[in-house]
Structure formats: structure tokens, C-alpha cells
Structure 1
């Protein structure tokens, strides 16, 4: 007679976040790489989010620690990967992320760009694209790290414009520069280097790189699923499919190959954990956190009901389903925060977590304000509550 699946409560799921995501003070990381690995990867569409997410998880929050990892040791790298989104992952994990998701995205990007070049009807094709790519790599070898504008000045082909969706009502003229550079980056042949400006800037320079070692896609998906289960389990098939952007079939195969163990969640739905990972989480002290828009701890599940009251969604999410800056208490989202133009950090609690929580949240806000210093951050993801608080 088969044994009934172990049940893991919503409270236990919240308890896992403090230690596994390095959010409780006693569990914080000492390096930016440890902080990134704790959540598999840091969302990187917004340059500031990378630093805010990493420093929230560091014992000694410091922009210099994150920048060293990104631009000196290059132990953290940016990859176009899960959900066709830019993430920062550790150098050790990057080959698995690239093979499981990144390579397929890059191949699709190349097919689409070549299709648009051919449709333009001006003799542009895959051979023209290869020559343009070679010219970019030669320019980087000659001039060193360069912005997109500097590369366009050095490589005339990048100043080419094409007409896309010709004959349709949404026909438009596009420059190819951004698309060609983005494709080289997606394939790992170039990478983003230091931005022009501060850590909040997205005007990156580009430098030459080397593609990641070749791995079988199925092997890579299995490894990524295994690590995801450790950090985010228990979670459902739908959660993994959503987080990765894989097909449901790929998600199911990866879970099976990783030896995922079925458990039952509070609502009776089947979830999965890493093999044998059903014991109660070792306790940590009560903790508060102020996390940025799109932080992985808020975005890694399709169903976030265990740490987010559905009544709070309207205030904390934008129209596209992206979450803004959030305030946490013991694994639960209890409010949102923003930075005003004068640098003041402000927040609003959407539920009453008690006096101890309020004191801890104020202390965490002070810690965040101290390491941010004179920096000003306006998230790309503007949500109703963030806009209201920042006004």
C-alpha cells in the first residue's frame, strides 16, 4: 500500500524563505555569488534591481561587492534566459541556464532577425549579419569595452535600418544595432560590462566573451530543476513551467529526472520538493525585508497565495502582472515601499503584522537607506502603491 504524500503547510513554506533565500539576518550571505545562488538568479531587466536584491541578502551590504562580482572577477553574469528575461546568475550555474533556456532563445532571436532582414528586400541576409557580427567583435578587440553608440560609430553596418511587418498596419522602420548586439549577447559571444554612470544605470558597455561550454539541454534542465526545487520547493509543475518558460512537457520531464518528491500543499494541490526534503525547516529569528520590484522571492511561483494576500495584488502589481517593491515580515508580503525624490524611503503596510514587525521593518529601511547613500532609484516597474508613495 503506497504511503500518502507528506503535507507541507503554507506556514512551513514561508519559514523556508528566511533561511534558503538568505533573508533572515543570521542566514545572510557573505558574497554576491552566494546571494544570487540562494535564489538561482537575480532578475536583471532593471539594473538597480540586481544590486537591491543582492544587498538585501548580504551581511555587509555594499555595491562594491556586487560590482566586483559582475565586472572584475565576472563570477556573476547576465544571461537572457528564463521567460525570455535577463537574469544575473553565478558563473558556475551559467552553462546550465544557457543550455536549458538561453540557447533556444538565442536560436529563435537569430531566426527572427534573419527573417526580417530577408523581408526587407535590400539584399540583407544571414551573410550580411555574419559580416556585421565579425565587425563588432573586431571593433571590441581594437577599442575595448564600448557602448552601443560607440559600436555603431565604428561599424557602419549597425547604422542600417530595415522595414519590418511590411504591408501590415503595424509596419515600422527599425535600426538593427540593438538587435544584432542583443543577439551576440544571447549567444554568449559578448557580455555587458560596466555601465556608463552609477550602478542604477542601464547604459552598459559591451566587451567580448566566450560561449558557455556545450551541455545537453535535457541534462541542463534537470540540473536547473533540481536547484530550483531546493530553493523554491514545494512548488507545482505550473510554477516551474511559469518560472522557466519551458513547455509543460519539459517541466515534467525535468522534475522526474531530478527525482522530485510529491507532497501535498494546504489547498490539496500536489507540489514537489527535492528528494527527501520534507523535514521542517530549521528555525531562524523573526525577520523583515524590503525587496525591490521583480525580486525572485516574490516572482518565482505562478501561485503566490502562500505568501501574498490576494487582496494586496491590485496595489503591488502593474497591469502586466509584475510585482513592485515589497515589504516582508517572516516570509509574507505585508506592504510596499518607495523612494522619494529627496531620497527618503517610505512604506505602507497593507496588514497589521504587530509592533515587533513594525520595528524590524523600520530598522531594515534604515539599513537600506544607509548603504544606498545618495543614490536615487525609480523602478521600471511602477505599481499603484509605489507611485502613490513616491509622489
Structure 2
């Protein structure tokens, strides 16, 4: 790390986070599309996360549900699809080609080979049969518009075929062709999640044909995705980039070179300095927001899950209470760029929260957090939200 590199301290990293992730009151967006563009991707594994992440950054007093449902299911300006690390996200529609080419193609090739191999081991029909069923299912989905797996199976009964997976292993199971094939088609960018069967918190989705998009060169797509992400999340380390994208380190380095990324040194959060990167021209200082800010962010929020190295905004001693055993973060309370506690919704709808830092945060900060809790409760109304991945503090607060 050369002496000429600019040093970005923790305070400036947190200022960038606040401003670029629209977490200050003055920076809130007017549409879900603007929120998604500001974050590049919204975690979609837990359906409620999408709406709550938008709501935390939306100025509209009507709340995020009607506008986000309109964007997802009517205008289709937002698309729920597989993305980085073979995880479901919600992306701006204009990014579907970029995401598919940069991250989906390699994952899809492995997923198809795995499905064909598993079926062969089970004595199930071969790849040609699978391709025939796939084409029939896609045609049926085109006729129906949107459909559940069960509805598709009425059109194409071969989707109900079952085969034994990992026979003789401790994790042996029985899979239906529809379960594995529809997931594969999602990874391949041929289908996307449609409107859920229930409310906006439901995880039972219909399927729909993916919107048409141009084919892109994978290297070009990786360059574009990394440029967009680093613009809103820089500075970030090579380890952050490799983790967030799920790419090989050689792909990360090639894309960094392609965008002319500038190297800087950054505060890692617990007394150590590491090398990081920003997009070209973004190494200059960024001033802190004019007013201190509080936020209640949902489980798997894209800001909380944005970096692999999190010590600069989340103290290591808070992790046991705020993460589940698989590394999924639960609902978090933020004050001025740091995670300071957790929150939950009780059965009666009350939003409850707890500050976990030993030194506390002060009366003014607690008043700001309370105001955000009231704002969140008003937007949820009669809805009840339980995170899909529950954490110790969330479970305790929820009672």
C-alpha cells in the first residue's frame, strides 16, 4: 500500500453509507425503483425484507407495500430473480441482463449438470427428456402468464415425476422434477418469481417468464455490475467484492482494472487499516450528513449485508445477538452509521427495540430511534412480520 493512497477513515465510510444508501431523512427516495437503484440489489430470500428495506428509505407516507407491489407485479420495473451467490434478490429491470451474464451463467451451468447427474443416479429419465419437459413447461407458463408449480403440473404432468436424491446418504431425499427444474430455470434466467399466493409477506410465489433481455458478454457484465456496486458501496476491499459477487478473485481483479478503480486505504473498524477501492474519481472526501440519523433496518437488509468486513459499522461483540448460526443478520437498530441494537415486532403489532452497546447512545439518539420505531409501526399497520432467519435478540424481544 503506497503512501500516496488516500486514507478513508471509519467516519467517512459511515457518511458514504448514510448518503448513498438513502438512510438520512433528507436522502429518502420517492419510489421503490429509486431505492433499488441506490442499493443495486435488495435481498429477496425473505419476502418481507424487500418491502421493509424500501420502506426505511422511502419518503412516501403511504408506505412501501402498494408502490413496491406495483413495481414488482404491474410495471415490472423491479424483478425478483437469482443473482449473486446463487441467492434471490430484487433488481431494477434494466440490470437483469447484467446480473444474468455476470453471475447467473456459471451457476446455471453447474446447476443443470448437477440436476442431470442426480436424475441419472436415481434412474430417472435422461437430459433429452428433461429438455422436452422444460420446453413444455415454459410454453405452458407463456399461456398462463403466471402459475404455481402445481398449476404448471396440471398442464405438464411430467413435472410431478419424483426421484430419490443422494440415495443411501444421511441427507437422502425425494425431489419432484418441478422443484428442481423451476429453480434451475430461475438460475438460468428463463423464469422469475411472480406475485405471491398470499400477502406481501408470503414466501409462496407464482412463476412467470423472465422479461426479455439482450445477451451480454460475461466479462462486460461483470465490469458493469462491479462498477455500479462500488459506486454505492465504495470503498470496499477485494475480499468484500469477492464475497458480495461470489466471483473468482481473478474476475474481481479483472473488473477492477477494467473500470479503472482507484486504490485507497481504509479503516477496517477495529484498529487495522486495509487496502480498498473506489470507482475512478471517487477518492475525494465526503462530508458527514448535516443531521445525525437513526434507522430500523430489516433482517438481511442490503446495507447490513453489504460488506464481508463489517467491523467499521458493527462491533464484533454485537454479532452473537444479531446473527443466526448461518451468518444471516436479523433486524438492526442504527445510529449515525453504526449498528447499535436490534428490534422485533410483537404479536400485538408493537415495535420493540433494545440498544446493545454497553455505553448506550444517549437520550437524543434514543428519541430518534423511538421515532423511527413509531414510523415503522405506522407503516406496518395490521401486518405482522417474523423474519425467516431468526436471531437471539429478535426472538427474545418478540416474546
TM-score by length of 1: 0.96
Whole-angstrom CA distance in 1 between matches of 2:86 and 2:283: 32
Partner residue of 1:275?
280
Question: 2:355 aligned with 1:349, yes or no?
Answer: yes
Whole-angstrom CA distance in 1 between matches of 2:104 and 2:395:
33
Partner of 1:327: 333
* Counterpart residue number, 1:245: 246
- Give distance in 2, aligned partners of 1:189 and 1:80: 11
How far the C-alpha of 1:283 sits from its partner, in A, is 3.6
Secondary structure at 2:304 match in 1: helix
Partner-residue secondary structure (3-state), 1:346: strand
Alpha-carbon distance between aligned partners in 2 of 1:83 and 1:141, rounded to the nearest angstrom: 28
**2:306 paired with 1:305:** no
Q: Distance in 2 between matches of 1:353 and 1:163?
A: 54
Once the two structures are overlaid, the 10-residue window that deviates more, 10-19 or 125-134, is: 125-134
Q: Output the CA distance in 2 between the equivalents of 1:131 and 1:188.
A: 18
In structure 2, distance between residues paired with 1:72 and 1:311: 44
Distance in 2 of aligned mates of 1:100 and 1:265: 27
Which residue pairs with 1:138 in the alignment? 139
Task: Say whether the 8 Å CA contact 2:42–2:89 is kept in structure 1.
Answer: yes
Aligned residue for 1:280, secondary structure, equals coil
Unaligned runs of 5+ in 1: none
- The alpha carbon displacement at 1:126 in A equals 1.4
Give the stretch that moved more between structures: 204-213 or 85-94.
204-213
Q: 2:17 matched to which residue of 1?
A: 17
Tell me which residue corresponds to 1:56. 56
| Bigger Cα displacement from structure 2, 267-276 vs 163-172 | 163-172
In 1, the alpha carbon distance for the partners of 2:187 and 2:47 equals 17
Q: Distance in 1 between matches of 2:326 and 2:251?
A: 25
SS of equivalent residue, structure 2 residue 373: helix
Q: Which residue does 1:291 correspond to in 2?
A: 297
| SS, match of residue 207 in structure 1 | strand
Distance 1:39 1:160 in 2: 40
For these two proteins, the number of residue pairs brought into alignment is 389
Alignment-derived partner of residue 190 in structure 1: 191
After the TM superposition, which segments of 4 or more aligned residues of structure 1 sit over 6 Å from their partners? Answer: none
2:35 and 2:58 in contact (8 A); partners too:
yes
Pick closer, same or farther for the CA change 1:310–1:169 going to 2, 3 Å.
closer
The 2-side partners of 1:102 and 1:356 are apart by 46
Q: Could you tell me whether the CA contact under 8 Å between 1:188 and 1:211 is conserved in 2?
A: no
Q: CA RMSD in A?
A: 1.4
Question: 1:64 and 1:357 mapped to 2: Cα distance?
Answer: 31
Residue equivalent to 1:379: 387
Equivalent position of 1:26 in the other structure: 26
Any stretches of 5+ residues in structure 2 without a counterpart? none
Q: Distance in 2 between matches of 1:340 and 1:254?
A: 45
